[in-house]
Every structure is written in structure tokens, then in C-alpha cells.
A = this chain, B = another copy of it.
Amino acid sequence: MPRRPAARPLSETPVRVDRRAHLVDTALRLFAAGGYHGVGIDTILATAGVAKKTLYSHFPSKTELIAEVLRERDRRFRASLEAGVAGREAPLERLQAVFEWHARWFAEPDFAGCMFLNVAAEFHAGEAGLAQIARDHKQALETFLAGLLVPLTGAEAALARAAEFNLLLDGAIGVALVSGDGAGAAARAWDMARRLLAPLPAAQG
């Protein structure tokens, strides 16, 4: 019965370190800073200290590595954003925390835009799979925003408002990337968001 996959060692000794996760983590940082075309496989391998064959035993192609990087980025993004909101009680403050989270992100020294907008910019034709991951990510953010908006606008209006706030955040990302003034972009977006909510009774004060 040589078909037994041998699989993970149940003695809970990770093969030494999880090379696949380490590769994805390294690629994530390099792609974020240098772009998808700008960073080659060899750079990732040298930085991660991993052999080329190992990479291609885990991923069939660079495109699939990029796809996994985007899925990992999506997971981290959601977890971090949820953590940023977690401490706040008041609905308006929870919403504000999303914009403050973006302000902190823009202020990171190696901020180079949104990996999902960037992948759409670099691969707009072809690579439909990557485009779909970007679409899903933005849709998930919109759903998250809608959840925060329900206490402020009611369930019916929350979806429409969430699309607007999503647009504000994308706008802030673009302005932060091109102008370099991330703090101003985030503050302006939040100011606009508040004024767009102002006609609602729940958002007063």
C-alpha cells in the first residue's frame, strides 16, 4: 500500500519550518514593495532562502503564487481591520476606526498602494483569476462596511452607503499613492464620510 501519502508528521514537528507559508510571506512583502512584474522568482527565493524546486512543488506557476499572496493579504487585511474596530463601542467611532486604520496604513514607510488595485492595474487584460480575487476582496470590504453602517443608517440604506464608503477609501488610496500625503488623504476621506452621513439623525453629535 504505497499509496499512503505520509502527509504531515503527526509528531507535530513542522518539517522544520513551514516553507510554503514562509514563501508566501516573503513574496507578499516583496510584491507589495516592488510590484508583481518588478519582483522576479529568483529574488523571492534568495530572500526566503528557499530552493526553486520547493517553490514549484507548492505552486504551479508564479501567477498561482501571486494568487495565494493575494488570498493571504486578504486574510491579514480582514483580521487587522477587525482588530482595529474591535475596541470601539459607538457605531460612528467604529466606522471612524476604519479610516484611522487606513491612515496608519498609508503612513507605513513602505506603503505602495493597495495590492488588489495594483494587481488590477498590472494585469488588466488576461489573468481573470487575479482580477476575480481583487473583486472579491473589495466586495468583502464593502460587506464589512455595510455591517458597521447598519446601526447608523438602517439595514436598507447600509448597502448603498457601504458602496460609497468603499469608493472613498479607494480614492484615499489613490491620492495617498500619487500625492504622498497619506495623512491628508485619510483625513479628507473621513471628513467627507462624516458629512455624507450627517443628514442622518443617528450620526448627529
Within 8 A of B (CB), among A14-56: 33-35, 37-38
Is B125 touching A121 in the complex (CB atoms < 8 A)? no
Instruction: Tell me if B170 and A174 are in contact (CB < 8 A).
Output: yes
Choose the segment among A1-9, A67-75, A95-103, A189-197 that binds chain B (4+ C-beta atoms closer than 8 Å): A189-197
Tell me the minimal C-beta distance from A84 to chain B in angstroms. Answer: 21
- Determine the residue in chain B with the shortest Cβ distance to A163: B188
For residue A179, CB closer than 8 A to chain B, the reply is: yes
Q: In whole angstroms, how far apart are the Cα atoms of A125 and B177 in the complex?
A: 11
Candidates B37, B117, B122, B184; contact of A178 at CB < 8 Å? B117
Q: Interface residues of A, CB < 8 Å — how many? A: 46
Question: A153 to chain B: closest CB distance in Å?
Answer: 14
Task: Indicate the member of A35, A116, A196 with the most B CB atoms within 10 Å.
Answer: A35
- Decide: B167 and A120 in contact? CB cutoff 8 A: no
Which chain B residue has the least Cβ–Cβ distance from A131? B178
Contact pick for A188, options B167, B179, B195, CB 8 Å: B167
A143 on the B face (CB < 8 A): no
Known interface pairs A135-B179, A179-B135, A188-B164; A174-B117 also in contact (CB < 8 Å): yes
